[in-house]
Amino acid sequence: MPMENQRSAVNAERDRPWLIRTYAGHSSAAASNALYRQNLAKGQTGLSVAFDLPTQTGYDSDHVLARGEVGKVGVPVGHLGDMMTLFDGIPLDQMNTSMTINAPAAWLLSLYIAVAEKQGTPRASLQGTTQNDIIKEYLSRGTYIFPPAPSLKLITDVAAFTYREVPKWNPMNVCSYHLQEAGATAEQELAYALGTAIAVLDAVRDSGQVPEEDFAKVVGRISFFVNAGIRFVTEICKMRAFCELWDEITRDRYGIEDAKYRRFRYGVQVNSLGLTEQQPENNVYRILIEMLSVVLSKNARARAVQLPAWNEALGLPRPWDQQWSLRLQQIMAYETDLLEYEDLFDGNPAIERKVGTLKDGARAELARLDAMGGAIAAVDAGYMKQELVKSNAMRLADIENGVTKVIGVNAFTETEPSPLTSGEKSIMTVDEMAEQEQIEKLKAWRSDRDQAKVKDALSTLEQAAREGCNIMESSIACAHAGVTTGEWSETLREVFGEYRAPTGITSMIVTGDAENLQTLRTRVDEVSNKLGERMKMLVGKPGLDGHSNGAEQIAVKAGEAGIDVLYDGIRWTPDELVRNAIDEGAHVIGLSILSGSHVPLVREVVNGLRARGAGHIPVVVGGIIPEADMLILRQMGVAAVYTPKDYQLVRVISEIVDLVDRTSSEPPVAQSGNRTSDGVGTAIY
């Protein structure tokens, strides 16, 4: 038998596979625990916990801003009891757990440590990661709470605590994932993520909490969480550039001599931004190609991979959908011979040229950040946010104009009906009773605990925060005392205050669709003349959904068209949006909601308008909205519903202008909630 045809996989030395994860959590701690145990039984090798928006933003489930959001995009964790239920039957000393949590990261880590102590597991044996990257929250994801300076102090506290007490824990996962989701170019993703890491390490170094001789240990525990998009070769080169730049920064800026502490350690979730509602079965190929870009190059291979499901552009994936993504990873790791070879790209001239170009671009952008005073200063100045909004606007304009081809969206749109999306159970929905049940359990928890211990623990926490001490031990004591997520966060809100990040909305013109845009401007002028004033649109994000990219792009495009736009960022109650629309004289309201909470939040806005005699103001809604929910929204009086398939923003704004023209010309209608819709939609995605 010829040697080249002999099977050698059994005897060949293979690299250890990356950690195989799925990002999961919904409804309740008990339901999520069942899902985790099910996935682990299927061969998943690590956990990646998705928390719901109230938990991510430090609110208890019964807070006014939590209405409609409990358990929708992740698991609600309000106290130690929830955390114990979440990990019931899962030995934490044998698990590597990633927690996607940022502003309250110190608190969720404290709960995790408290659960371990309840299990009899030593702190030092725990392995995992808290994302804990607040800077990208200001730029893209929106689950920040505190201003930048105290937020950086909290990250420093976690890093200084874990390197001593939980040495296998990654205290921060510098997250470039959401930067790409917000439209970042490869150079921006590199520069803004590395700039964030520099800001954190500078803060730790200058805090006095870590002796100089131990600083390398902290550097060695900083990890990254990146995004892999569809531009396959660019993504391979980006990851190699990340590794080389991080080695350079840690060596030259921080003097780290030991190469193991300079290693670029990262996990990845491949791109969700590019998943399409149209022909969603094509997303399977996109996910596979994107995963290849972070596992093929051995010298830049991900340490952990989690993949979205093929139907995440439609709604919440079912366990079967998650299993499909899990099996995709396992086939790559165990059936192929990928892990038997050295790096496949070393010495490739095309790769080396592209890596060099990306590094040069990233260094230039890092120099701009340094000139501003670093990443925190660039956040406060609104620079990075504005640049991301520009990049995303250009990306969307290229899709709208056909410069960028997206199969099934603006190219090869002819299709057969997909059997995968037919039927009532093609996506998973959260039981509407889950929120009320969580609130009832929360109230029972509060009533059953020792209130004196809670008061004392919160007092100690507040004192530590006011005196600038490390808050980790006092937070762990709070966890054991029965303190809730909202109480922990509110205590620190009282000390540090809250923050509202810059929106990044400017009047820049970025699209190449000049002719259609000029026609639209003329139409806006005509309608404004009929109104007797400039047409005004309020773009609002009710509730806790921080995905503002779509709302920002609608605001930018409406502004380009000559509409006066009212957009003040994220996290408003429906009542606040109603009052703002009436006070400012808005002619139309556009609501963007991607958290699955569109029905209850929109209902509150519509009812609020009617209660104040302003039911004549038309409301349009955009987001990831199932067909059945579109009908509900229209029946309650929504004039138009938009989903990710509606990527042509000039057309979307044109339809909204026509809507204002019609409704301003029509006699008032009875407030019956029977307004019909054109059935058109938007890329408020």
Structure tokens, 640: 């138009």
Pick the catalytic residue: 62, 157, 380, 545? Answer: 545
Contact 655, 618 (CB under 8 A): no
Give the residue among 180, 185, 426, 174 at the shortest CA–CA distance from 311: 426
Q: Is 547 a catalytic residue?
A: yes
Contact 40, 88 (CB under 8 A): no
Pick the catalytic residue: 177, 266, 499, 567? Answer: 177
Q: Is 298 a catalytic residue?
A: no
Pick the catalytic residue: 541, 557, 587, 598? Answer: 541
Q: Residue 360: what residue type?
A: D
Most distant pair of Cα atoms in the chain: their distance: 87
Checking 324-329 for CB contacts under 8 A at 24+ apart, the result is 324/284, 325/22, 325/287, 326/20, 326/22, 326/39, 326/42, 326/43, 326/44, 328/284, 328/287, 328/288, 328/291, 329/20, 329/291, 329/305
Q: Is 661 a catalytic residue?
A: no
How many whole angstroms separate alpha carbon 198 and alpha carbon 249? 8
Strand partners, 227: 269
Structure tokens, 101: 């949590």
Contact 674, 658 (CB under 8 A): no
Pick the catalytic residue: 238, 547, 557, 598? Answer: 547
* DSSP structure class, residue 330: H
The SS3 assignment for 224 reads strand
Strand partners, 100: 50
Strand partners, 564: 536
Pick the catalytic residue: 23, 163, 642, 685? Answer: 23
How many whole angstroms separate alpha carbon 194 and alpha carbon 358? 13
Q: Is 23 a catalytic residue?
A: yes
H or E element in which residue 161 lies? helix 148-165
Residue with tokens 């959260």: 430
Q: Is 541 a catalytic residue?
A: yes
Between CA 406 and CA 413, with CA 407 as vertex, the angle to 5 degrees is: 120
Contact 305, 332 (CB under 8 A): no
Pick the catalytic residue: 79, 178, 557, 587? Answer: 178
Strand partners, 554: none
Catalytic residue ranges: 23, 177-178, 541, 545, 547
